[in-house]
Amino acid sequence: MLSQALSVLPLNSAELFSASALNGTAKKVKLASNTRQPNSTTSTHRIGPSNPSRKTQKLNLEVSPHRAVSAVRLMRIELGGAFADLLNEQGKGSGDNEMGYVERTLGFRTRDLDDRNLRLVTDIVGGTIRWRRYLDHLILSLCHDEDTFRCMEPLLLQILRIGFYEIVKLDMPPYAVVDENVRLAKVALRPGAGNLVNGILRKLVLLKESNSLPSPEVNGDDRQQARALSTIYSHPVWMVRRWIKFLGREEAIRLMMWNNSDPTFSLRANIGKGYRRADLVAQLEKLKVPYDLSAHLDEFVRIKTGMQVVIQAGLLKDGFCSVQDESAGLVVSIVDPQPGESILDCCAAPGGKTLFLASCLYGQGMVTAVDINKGRLRILKETAKIHQVHNVVTAVHSDLQTFAENNHVKYDKVLLDAPCSGLGVLSKRADLRWNRRLEDMEQLKTLQDELLDSASMLVKPDGVIIYSTCSIDLEENEERVASFLLRHPEFVVDTADRYVPHEFVTENGFYRSNPVKHSLDGAFAARLIRSQ
């Protein structure tokens, strides 16, 4: 059924990488464990004294570790098997995990990744993904031959993108960038690839130094202007046209600039474990991680840097806090969970909102978490134990439509955090903009209507359903609610004014966070009461 096929459209925290797919690509681009350069310092070495069972591997001491990891990770992202940051890793082993992918793909390991290199990988990969369309425009301009660009080997293209990003956006020392990316291309591919990288990057350096980088002119009809803006601000053309239509050109540009900025992350102190924001603040100060207190939610803090420090300190792994944007926390405020209530979370995994809801019950009541993805539901159950809220969380593996048809229990509150385009989280999910198509929007709207109809069957009289998304799109948000109310006149809008600050409440009484206005992820929620 449609809901079963599409209910996992938005990507979550589990990696879905196919090693066989990457190995096939590796063969195609002739990744050269057997094209080692005579002047490279490559030796047979046993990496990592803490793991004596590891087989001996080839070690290259000249290739920059963060560039090798970034290039391989970018290839994995394009194959659908990785994300643009390392936040899904569980701690100190993340660098070794990344180097394992390099070893299996390129045939050698580099020096181990230290904390600085891990941060560079996240910065470079995230930035390269965000600016991909613009970087490809520059690369194509310097190739002077579209066929050369279109037929470029995947790994070679990723190395060029990294070099272009480092020079144009990070302002790294240009000739050091050239030398190190040339070395990577020669060792991982062949001498001719290194020569090509050398020639193109040196052209780029000259153009940047003379302030002559090629940029498209924003002129012509609406379609031509949107195409130029999509290149300058590195977004798909269909998104740019859609935002100009709904938001206006200047607001669309501000939104794209926000999406291209370095994201700020929020941490939620886990009150379910008796851990308050004051405890989290004390730990952050001890770790020397700068923070700001949330202006909207009592248990949240914002951090711009230091996430790797937080991860390695074990604060996430041990359940003292969670990475959760304030926009998602405000959705839980709209639910307004109270001790003793029965709450249904319809598309629950990986469980960020589920865990927050459960912690607000203080051991009294129940959150039933339904999801079609068995693997992610297992992660939710494991995390609930770590967060010490498993006594009020029941996980159910089911398609929502089937669950609604077969379940006779009604709930006080039903949260439908619906699968959506994710257009509100493009700052953090750098890769998502390239994984969405205009055609997806129609499929998603049909799915959202189906899920809302199913969820409505599970609400008690005088109970509440909360429909939410992490999208800023009117068609996924206000229009879906309006359509639902026409089909279900037994539901009425309960204004969000009583649950979140007024600045987040629309004229129709819905909750909406605006990335540009509020400096949060974009999100939406409607609270609907069943009147009969």
Share of the chain above pLDDT 70, in %: 86
Burial class (CB in 10 A: 0-12, 13-18, 19+), 492: exposed
Cα end-to-end span (Å), the chain: 30
Model pLDDT, residue 14: 29
Model pLDDT, residue 90: 43
Computed from CA positions of residues 94, 79, 8, 307, in that sequence, does the dihedral angle turn out positive or negative? positive
Model pLDDT, residue 319: 95
Give the H/E segment covering residue 446: helix 438-456
Model pLDDT, residue 24: 36
236 in a known ligand binding site: no
328 in a known ligand binding site: no
* Strand bridging mode 366-371 / 393-397: parallel
Model pLDDT, residue 81: 64
Model pLDDT, residue 42: 42
Alpha-carbon distance of 355 to 319, in angstroms, equals 10
Residue 22 has pLDDT above 60, yes or no: no
- Average pLDDT of the segment spanning 135-156: 91
Residue 406 has pLDDT above 50, yes or no: yes
From 143, 321, 346, 470, the catalytic residue = 470
Residues 223-260 pLDDT 10s: 999 999 999 999 999 999 999 999 999 999 999 999 99
Q: What's the CATH architecture for 326-530?
A: 3-Layer(aba) Sandwich (3.40)
350 in a known ligand binding site: yes
Task: Count Cα atoms within 13 angstroms, Cβ side, for 436.
Answer: 28
Residue 25 has pLDDT above 70, yes or no: no
Residues 283-317 pLDDT 10s: 999 999 999 999 999 999 999 989 889 998 999 99
417 in a known ligand binding site: yes
Q: Which residues contact 286 (CB under 8 A, 6 or more apart)?
A: none
143 an active-site residue?
no
Q: How many CB atoms lie within 10 A of CB 453?
A: 16
- Topology given in CATH for the domain delimited by 266-323: Alpha-Beta Plaits (3.30.70)
Residues 324-355 pLDDT 10s: 999 999 999 999 999 999 999 999 998 999 99
Q: Which of 23-32, 82-91, 123-132, 247-256 has the lowest mean pLDDT?
A: 23-32
Residue 357 has pLDDT above 70, yes or no: yes
**Strand ranges, E, within 357-439:** 366-371, 393-397, 411-417
226 in a known ligand binding site: no
349 in a known ligand binding site: yes
176 in a known ligand binding site: no
523 in a known ligand binding site: no
Alpha-carbon distance of 188 to 181, in angstroms, equals 10
pTM over 0.85: yes
Contact between residue 58 and residue 33 where contact means Cβ atoms under 8 Å apart = yes
Q: Is 2-209 a domain of CATH 1.10.940.10?
A: yes
